[in-house]
Structure 1
């Protein structure tokens, strides 16, 4: 009989920024209690429509029934950062500054606007264009805005999210029993988190199936890129009207201000980058798992050249890897691959059905290694350690 269960557990605080977490970590499992499960398959959603709860449950039940595996879905930190899964559009201090000065440039009276008040600005622009010949009909107000995630969360980006996924896996193993492979599957940001989990706790993960993940930390998704150029490094774009363009960023405490305790330094970026030879070499000493990835050469969000270089390094280090380069319309089959854009319009169900069987045939790696790993990142050393069925992060600043 198929069983669906939901758990709420304690997970990590934000050790980097010394922020106490307010909410429990939620995760769901699907399994058949009449069968012996062959693996834990964690399907990691990204920022898109694959965060829909009904879709995730349906997919989990199909995969569980098809392969006799336990399927894990983790509501990792800041997963609710899009309008389709509960986020709201707000204006932070930078957004308000841009809004105020943009309104003044067109002679529009400014007040403390909310998102709903943009229709007032839109109407003012319509009226101004009709009476002021000096304002071109193509003129627009270009504004920045912020996604306010659910649960009063914010974008730490990567580290807390990968730790959440790892902690959920450990909690499943504690309650359901271990000794079976752990396979991670994800697209875009979900694929990135799969790779990051393998980096921060390589003794837990036994295989990666990845579609279109980024190999280097993308500036646009860190929340603070509006401080640099909000019309260039935006995370999400909305054409609000013919008169207003809105460039959106997820709420974050990270900043480009090097004098702030929340400065996103090179060390912060280094620990989040997957494409780091020294880190990959260290990771390889914990076992060389299989990696499978699909990636379009036309991807404008996650550059293909970075993924190609990553897989060259993984291959040299002895990992069992295969990168499917998608470079022409002939490869669009309408089932697995539907376009040449970021994400390839890919069916996760078809991806899993195609590649999970071959990973399940691989022998389970030796997991008797030390359950601790340390990465030197410029002036910081990040140490991830498994203790009491949780991943604990410790950060030391070098002199």
Structure 2
């Protein structure tokens, strides 16, 4: 059974406040130990997932032993605001409810201040839809930035684990460092590859968007309670802040990059967040990009269960499918170093500085 570890490390501060912050890193190594053929796999969860989700714990341990990998994840910047609804304000008042429910039902709902469970108990028997808003409590110190700092955290996690491995006297295959992400996690994988362009050898993309949709529109989580629908709205702080679309939009970012990483992309024909017709444009921009369009004929109810966003994919099966259906050459050519990376946009100049080993992102406004 794979050996599990976790630790806390310093992360890049928010670009808005520069307040010191830390984040958690989790990794597993093969039960048989680390050798010159061992690779590294960075798993990046998207909205609704995190490093402590059961499926990700299973992936870290399963892939470590099955594929001789050190598997890594982290609690990247703002991850806690990307989960399910847990602190909502209902868009409802007693006067509105009086139009739909009997007096004894109203009295039951308002028996004490904690009305939510009794309200949902009553509405579940009726076809009444409710809306609510999540109280996110983001601050400029800590928020879901959906981009730059989240990517820097993930790169930092990989580099710090590599340093741990080397400090313990192990060598590994530095040409076998893999990114595997789902939805926003896949999007962050592209950012990681762009900010550390000599580090990663393979990127597996399940349903990445080209740009974080929730920077322009709000996120909604819908849950059924019997016959009723509860729709919870998430409005992220990053949507109200200034951002640089040129660095965050993958086509414009990758036009500035000579890509060295193999990319295997899976995208559904009924994805409601990013159309496959828009996604396929990466085929013309990114060198070593392989596009797999998942339509109804490719839904096998094993790896792919739908053609919608995320493909209803079994995350473990999708990784197995990719490794077994492509011929990857992870030839160990020895030690690799990360050089500083600079990107210029119409708004800003970005420097990813590796002089202290882990990256620091510097932003210079024009």
Task: After TM superposition, list the pairs within 5 Å mapping 1:93-242 onto structure 2.
Answer: 99=91, 103=93, 106=96, 116-118=114-116, 142-147=131-136, 153-177=142-166, 179-218=174-213, 221-222=214-215, 225=217, 233-238=218-223
Report how far residue 21 of structure 1 moved.
Answer: 4.6
Report how far residue 156 of structure 1 moved.
Answer: 1.4
Structure 2 residue matching 1:20: 3-state secondary structure = coil
Q: Hey, what's the Cα distance between the residues in 2 that align with 1:291 and 1:254?
A: 28
Give 2:103's aligned residue.
none
Counterpart pick for 1:264 among 230, 239, 242: 242
Give 2:25's aligned residue.
26
How has the CA–CA distance of structure 1 residues 360 and 171 changed in structure 2, closer, same or farther, with 3 Å as cutoff? farther
8 Å CA contact retained: 1:207, 1:291: yes
Q: Hey, what's the Cα distance between the residues in 2 that align with 1:255 and 1:105?
A: 33
8 Å CA contact retained: 1:11, 1:25: no
Q: Hey, what's the Cα distance between the residues in 2 that align with 1:50 and 1:321?
A: 27
8 Å CA contact retained: 1:40, 1:182: yes
Q: Hey, what's the Cα distance between the residues in 2 that align with 1:311 and 1:171?
A: 32
Deviations 1:132-176 (A, max 9, x none): xxxxx9775544333458xx9421112121111100111112121
Deviations 1:167-194 (A, max 9, x none): 0111112121363421101111111111
Cα RMSD for the two superposed structures:
3.4
How has the CA–CA distance of structure 1 residues 217 and 378 changed in structure 2, closer, same or farther, with 3 Å as cutoff? farther
Report how far residue 55 of structure 1 moved.
Answer: 2.7
Give 1:375's aligned residue.
343
Structure 1 residue matching 2:43: 3-state secondary structure = strand
How has the CA–CA distance of structure 1 residues 349 and 141 changed in structure 2, closer, same or farther, with 3 Å as cutoff? closer
Aligned residues: 341
Q: Is residue 2:294 matched to residue 1:326?
A: yes
Report how far residue 359 of structure 1 moved.
Answer: 6.0
Q: Hey, what's the Cα distance between the residues in 1 that align with 2:192 and 2:309?
A: 22
Give 2:282's aligned residue.
310
Q: Is residue 2:269 matched to residue 1:280?
A: no
Deviations 1:263-286 (A, max 9, x none): 334x2x32222121xx313321xx
8 Å CA contact retained: 2:4, 2:27: yes
Give 2:238's aligned residue.
254
Q: Hey, what's the Cα distance between the residues in 1 that align with 2:33 and 2:248?
A: 40
Counterpart pick for 2:303 among 331, 336, 354: 336
How has the CA–CA distance of structure 1 residues 118 and 153 changed in structure 2, closer, same or farther, with 3 Å as cutoff? farther
Q: Hey, what's the Cα distance between the residues in 2 that align with 1:121 and 1:153?
A: 33
Q: Hey, what's the Cα distance between the residues in 2 that align with 1:191 and 1:77?
A: 16
**Runs of 5+ in structure 1 lacking a partner?**
109-114, 127-136, 226-232, 257-262
Give 1:395's aligned residue.
363
8 Å CA contact retained: 1:88, 1:148: no
The two structures have a TM-score, normalised by structure 2, of 0.80
8 Å CA contact retained: 2:265, 2:291: yes
Q: Hey, what's the Cα distance between the residues in 1 that align with 2:293 and 2:318?
A: 15
Q: Is residue 2:284 matched to residue 1:299?
A: no
Deviations 1:252-300 (A, max 9, x none): 43344xxxxxx334x2x32222121xx313321xx52110011001100
Q: Hey, what's the Cα distance between the residues in 1 that align with 2:156 and 2:284?
A: 30
Deviations 1:100-119 (A, max 9, x none): xx6498498xxxxxx95456
Give 2:64's aligned residue.
64
8 Å CA contact retained: 1:210, 1:292: yes
Structure 2 residue matching 1:356: 3-state secondary structure = helix
How has the CA–CA distance of structure 1 residues 365 and 334 changed in structure 2, closer, same or farther, with 3 Å as cutoff? farther
